[in-house]
Structure 1
Amino acid sequence: MVRRAAIVAIGSELLCGDGLDTNSRWLSQRLEGLGLRVVLHLSCPDEVGAILDALRFAAERAQVLLTTGGLGPTRDDLTREAVARWAGVSLQLHEPSLERIRQLFARFGRDMPASNRVQAELPVGARVIDNEVGTASAFSLDHAGTRLYALPGVPREMRWLWENALAGELESADAAPPARRTFRTVGISESALGERLLSVEERPGVEVRYAAEERLGTIRVTLLHEDQDAVQDAWREARDLLGEHVCAVGGDTLAESLAGLLHARGLRVATAESCTGGRAAAALTALPGISRRFLAGFVTYSNRAKVRDLGVSEELLAARGAVCPEVAAAMARGARARAGADLGLGVTGVAGPGGGSSEKPVGLVHMAAAGPGDDDLRLLERRFPGDRDLVQARATAAALDLLRRAAGGGAATG
């Protein structure tokens, strides 16, 4: 039976927006990697009653319960008290933990403040988990069929404790993680994607997870099943159903998939962007080793820059305006020629919120990919919904995918 896990993140700062809970995401990835199924994330303030309610709620749904935060020395660190109430026990001073904290201060030539004593007061029956990188005393406690692990909220300490204690303890030979296959799609909405993959979702035992990645302009899809062959069969069907919408496989992003294709085929690229402001170039140049394939990136926002830097015709701009397929093509060809690249990308559009018209509304983007042959040209027109940032993100993804297809990439495989 697959063990269920829950995570309770404790800290008022997480609820008021002053802090971001990165611990739960990190822990979830590792728990699932060990074959546990994470069924719940909760956040609660630094209040004993709220923490106690969260513990009870989570423990009813999971055999393994992890808490983060609330193990410090200040008056708002109340996890120890809440866990003791949950288990129906009292707190008691754990002398070895107190001595460990004293020694930690002594190593830095300091006396332990009296307030740190509370960090050694643990629920009766708790098992201490040695923490060599901080003063918080982590511990585990079994109650009513659930094993609780109380971890510090400081990411560095929490991760050290996971790597040096919890990972080995939670690993089980009879709880292997399910087989999985992950890929990314572009140019298709999440609703249309779900409709297209309905037959995959209906395969016995197959779980399909969707995650929209707005900043990347892609959707990540994960297929899971207990059997590796079943996952492979589901992946083949999904790939056939989605075709060229599949832009990356495994952990690769769209940009990484494109870069891999450029490396494999020995192609060099240059970009010319207007409404995306250099995002396509930034996505590529963020990757190590791309200097062998990326030659130049032009951000030509004004018409004057398009003429000066890319050789776009003034007559064309006067007759058609900057947002049209002809200008996108001229930008792509200009970038390719000026940089001496095999492939050139051109992007021009109206990102908003202003600047649109009935003829050229906000969200309209024209893209072009020139090369690798002198006469090779691919054009793409899209109307993207959303605010300025979202239009730019989606246009960047579409442009990178257009470049990927120009480089000879169909549906990503692997």
Structure 2
Amino acid sequence: MDDSVSLQAEVLSIGDELTSGQRLDTNSQWLSARLAELGIRTIRHTTVGDDLAGDIEALRLAAGRADVVVVSGGLGPTLDDLTRQALADAFECPLELDVDSLEHIRQLFARRHREMPERNQVQAMFPRGARVIPNPHGSAPGIDMSVDSLGRGSRIFALPGVPAELKEMWTQSVVPQIEAMLGATLAPWRYHAVKLFGIGESDVEVRLPNLIDRRRAPTVGITVSHATITLRIAARAQTDGQFADLIAPTLNEIQQALGELIFGAGDDELEHVILRKLAQQGLSLATVEIGAASWIKHWMLAAGQSATQLDNESLDDPLPGSSVDKSTGTTAGGFVGGLAFPTLAHAARWFQERDDHDLSGRVSRDSELRDWGPEIWKPLAQQSRQRFAADVVLVVNGYPSPRAVEVSAGQFDFDFILAIGDELSVDRRSMS
């Protein structure tokens, strides 16, 4: 089956807890990924609250747009669980009692040594003509309906919002129904992500002007997060091997144009790759960040390193706004800790109070911090390396540039200082 006859889906989530922001809608993400595995592209996510009129409208619109509509939530027994009534009203199919479902719910309560509340009987009510989606471990069976809306036919699968129940019902009952709808096997969508660092989104498009054209196959999407560019390649393929063959020319094109900027693939983030390479080489890394909000330290710690944060008092640190982290148990390479200071003067004072006079004597106040060179960075890096017993120290100075007349408004100088043993390299870049 080619793309011209492939199915499109909409995922509809129902619940005030979602529209109010009290709960994150993870079901829609999971369902869209599962639909893609079946070769079905999700064209829209819709979230509505527990409002009957709003739910009816959302169901009619979704069924008029998509071949498959997957609904999550609103199948409980309480007065604000409105999905079944909304389905009945939207498509003029009155609710009817399903005796087998009612017996299943009663037995479920009996196994828990409880009597079924009368209100739970509503969970055995289904729009006329609908099919039951069994719920092996919960009291809310799902609803499978074939409907017509806005001049087109659509298949609606309504599932409970409890993720564990939704996933089991999807796998056991919904997937076989969708596969039967597809008839001839449609190749699923497969994805491969290429991660870049050190370039802007517009620069990628300049180097690869035809890459982001939505008419090309495979398709390539581009996203940006925390200075990382992700190129997401998508194509239909029955097997991983076929997919690899399909995307090989695209990967080669990306490699030729951007090879020096590629750091990983898939779920890799820059901090994961750095930690992996450190571990492979048995090297330890410490960081010192000045006026940079401790971003690198937090990224490295969040990447899976075990760390203990020590407060200022425990380190006799008198400087407001300064912080120190030391990781624990890192002996075979990895991130061993980080220092963070609002300004270089704070860093100098911190070292001075620990009798590190090589640095503190060179810096007296912020106004003197101009065109800092090795005489400042070398002792700072070396003393940090000794304090953490680290093989490598990365110092990042994000303090606003004193050369205000030389840089554009809204831009700042960042100094990146890398110390490996006694070797020191300094790179200054202007960033907005």
Give the TM-score taking structure 2 as reference length.
0.77
Equivalent residues of 1:139, 1:149 under 8 A apart: yes
Q: After superposing the two structures, state which structure 1 stretch, 181-190 or 171-180, moved more.
A: 171-180
Mapped contact 1:180–1:231 kept (Cα < 8 A): no
Cα distance, 1:222 vs. partner?
0.2
Deviations 1:17-56 (A, max 9, x none): 3333221112112221332111111112222222222122
User: Structure 2: how far apart are the matches of 1:177 and 1:310?
Assistant: 64
SS in 1 for 2:202: helix
Q: Structure 1 residue 212 and structure 2 residue 224: aligned?
A: yes
Within 5 A, what are the aligned runs for 1:99-138?
99-138=103-142
Which amino acid in structure 2 is aligned with residue 251 of structure 1? D
- Which residue of the partner structure matches residue 184 of structure 1? 195
Which residue is 2:186 aligned to? 175
Residues in 1 aligned to 2:33 and 2:274: alpha-carbon distance in whole angstroms: 26
Runs of at least 5 residues in structure 1 that lack an aligned partner in the other structure = 385-414
Equivalences for 1:315-334 in 2 at 5 Å? 315-318=361-364, 320-321=368-369, 327=376, 330-334=379-383
Identity over aligned residues, as a percent?
Answer: 32
Q: Give the Cα separation in 1 of the matches to 2:372 and 2:36.
A: 48
Which residue of 190, 196, 207 corresponds with 1:196? 207
- Give the C-alpha shift of residue 118 in structure 1: 1.0
1:217-228 correspondence runs (5 A): 217-226=227-236, 228=243
The residue that corresponds to 1:34 in the other structure is: 38
Please state how far the C-alpha of 1:264 moved relative to its aligned partner: 3.0
Q: Which residue of 2 aligns with 1:232?
A: 248
Contact 1:183 1:251 in 2 (8 A): no
Report the structure, 1 or 2, having the larger strand content: 2
Match of 1:404 in 2: none
Counterpart secondary structure, 1:258: helix
Give the partner amino acid of 2:416. Answer: M
SS in 2 for 1:198: coil
Contact kept, 8 Å, 1:70 with 1:153, in 2: the verdict is yes
The CA RMSD measured in Å over matched residues stands at 3.1
Deviations 1:221-255 (A, max 9, x none): 20123363342211221232223332221221111
Distance 1:357 1:124, change over 3 A: farther
2:289–2:395 contact (8 Å) kept in structure 1 = yes
Superimposed CA distance per residue, residues 292-329 of structure 1 (whole angstroms, 9 cap, x where no aligned partner):
32252132423222445795612333374399565555
- 2:167 pairs, out of 159, 167, 172, with 159
Distance 1:322 1:100 in 2: 77
Q: Which amino acid aligns with 2:220?
A: V
Distance (Å, rounded) in 2 between the aligned partners of 1:99 and 1:110: 14
1:82 aligns to what? 86
Q: Decide which moves more: 142-151 or 317-326.
A: 317-326
Alpha-carbon distance in structure 2 between the residues aligned to 1:236 and 1:309? 53
Q: Is the 8 A contact 2:305 2:335 kept in 1?
A: no
1:201 alignment partner, SS class = coil
Q: Distance in 2 between matches of 1:63 and 1:350?
A: 55
Q: Deviations over 1:320-363 (max 9, x none)?
A: 43995655555444333433333211123249xxx999479785
Letter in 2 for 1:205: A
CA contact (8 A) 1:278 1:297 kept: no
How far the C-alpha of 1:174 sits from its partner, in A, is 1.6
Q: Does 1:374 align with 2:422?
A: yes
> Partners of 1:129 and 1:299 in 2: how far apart?
56
**SS of alignment partner, residue 76 of structure 2:** coil
Structure 1 residue 298 and structure 2 residue 338: aligned? yes
CA displacement at 1:81 relative to structure 2 = 1.4
**What is residue 314 of structure 2 aligned with on the other side?**
none
The aligned amino acid for 1:343 is V
How far did 1:101 drift?
1.8
Aligned residues: 378
Matched, 1:247 2:263: yes
Shift of 1:158: 1.9
CA 1:97–1:186: 2 relative to 1, 3 Å: same
Gapped regions of structure 2 (runs ≥ 5): 238-242, 307-329
Task: Indicate if the aligned counterparts of 2:264 and 2:270 stay in contact, CA closer than 8 A.
Answer: yes
Letter in 2 for 1:318: S
CA contact (8 A) 1:324 1:366 kept: no
Equivalent residues of 2:411, 2:430 under 8 A apart: no
CA 109–271 in structure 1, closer or farther in 2 if over 3 Å, else same: same
Q: Secondary structure at the match of 1:313?
A: helix
Q: 1:52 — aligned with what?
A: 56
Deviating beyond 6 angstroms after TM superposition, the runs of 4 or more aligned structure 1 residues are: 359-362
Larger radius of gyration: 2
1:197 CA displacement? 3.0
Tell me the SS of whatever aligns to 2:191. strand
Q: CA deviation at 1:112?
A: 1.5
Q: What corresponds to 1:8 in structure 2? A: 12
Normalising by structure 1, what TM-score? 0.80
- Residue 342 and residue 240 in structure 1: after superposition, are their counterparts in 2 closer, same or farther (change >3 A)? farther
Question: How far apart in 2 are the matches of 1:323 and 1:93?
Answer: 80
